[in-house]
Structure 1
Amino acid sequence: MQVAIVEIKAHCPEPGATSARMLELGATHQGRDHQVDTYFAVPHGRLKLRQGGIETNLIHYRRDDHAGPKESQVLLHSPSDAPSLRAALSAALDVRVVVDKQRDIFWAGNVKLHLDDVAGLGTFVEIEAIDRDGSHSRAELHDRCRQWLNDLGIEPSLLVTHSYSDLLLARNEMRAGDAGDP
């Protein structure tokens, strides 16, 4: 399934208050999911296998890295046997990084909201305006993201430009460099 998504990611210094505000604004809490995302080295875009109790998908996407709303073209596949798929992909492709997170999932119409506690990185909020069937324009998706950004009171200084995988890779490279210093 191909999906168009406009996404915003930001540091979340007060997850309890953010969660309460989401509910106050009419979002519904779908649940808390422990998700492990395995990113594979591919020549174009990003490929990850997400394994969780609520969401399990093979996801390929392309997205620019910048603060604020980012557009993605996403291909989703829901595998029936994720562990076997992970083994096959790991045998064929290099694993770039594994992202381990606890994710609270909220929905408000076509907007999916996440509160993520990412191992090694901290707590984040994500806003994803989603078009699954071509019924929403890019402008509408951007507007929905900006509206939630404003309604949640997320300051521009909290916006994150890169994916969790990129942030973990950068952190790991920095630690490796520090370990090599005399």
Structure 2
Amino acid sequence: MHLNIEFKARSSRNKELQQLLADHNPRFAGEDHQKDTYFNVPHGRMKLREGNIEHALIHYQRSNIAGAKQSDVILYQHQPDAALKALLTAALGIKVVVEKRRRIYFVDNVKIHFDEVAGLGQFLEVEAIDADGSIGAEKLQEQCRYFATLFGVADSDYLAQSYSDMLLQQPPGAEK
């Protein structure tokens, strides 16, 4: 398990924000088309991420509060395999599917996403990651504050919910 402090914010300036980020010499991991299938689980959230860059089974627990928040993550990286999705679907049932285009950057241990989510719009997500316990929550919070300030994220831009929750709350047929 590793510790993330992360925030998600609504954004209509993703191209501009990517230019701001360029001054920090980020490593560009690429643009991923991701399909996250969320399953019915009794605690936290579990999703199977299928992408052209990232493939993982992810379980996480995180409070639905706006701003930077702690997320406890268990991540299982795997090679794409249709049998895994079939097994999870049969055992747990699908809760919701989130499809997005994600541009992925890294600045040291901080992962920055610029997302275009089907049915929801554009978003910025910043994840300060402590994979081995060597950084600590305080430093991760500081890193999130730094990038929120750099990108000019207003308090009203922060999202409390996951993309999956936002999609589940939309009336049938609603598109933003």
TM-score, normalized by the shorter chain, greater than 0.5: yes
Which runs of no fewer than 5 residues in structure 2 stay unpaired?
none
1:157 Cα deviation (Å)?
1.1
Q: Is the 8 A contact 2:7 2:67 kept in 1?
A: yes
Which runs of no fewer than 5 residues in structure 1 stay unpaired?
none
1:40-88 CA-to-partner distances (Å, cap 9, x unmatched) read 0000000000000110000000000111111011001112343210011
1:25 Cα deviation (Å)?
2.7
Q: Which has the higher helix share?
A: 1
Matches within 5 A, 1:140-155: 140-155=139-154
Q: Is the 8 A contact 1:79 1:85 kept in 2?
A: no
Q: Which residue of 1 aligns with 2:99?
A: 100
| Cα RMSD for the two superposed structures | 1.3
1:3 Cα deviation (Å)?
1.3
Amino acid across the alignment from 1:166: D
Amino acid across the alignment from 2:75: L
- The alignment covers a number of residue pairs equal to 174
Aligned with 2:97: secondary structure?
A: strand
Matches within 5 A, 1:158-173: 158-171=157-170
Bigger Rg, structure 1 or 2: 1
Q: Which residue of 1 aligns with 2:60?
A: 61
Percent of residue pairs bearing the same amino acid type = 43
Matched, 1:20 2:19: yes
Runs of 4+ aligned residues of structure 1 deviating over 6 Å after TM superposition are none
Matches within 5 A, 1:75-154: 75-154=74-153
TM-score, normalization by structure 2: 0.95
Q: Which residue of 2 aligns with 1:157?
A: 156
> d(CA) in 1 for partners of 2:104 and 2:95?
25
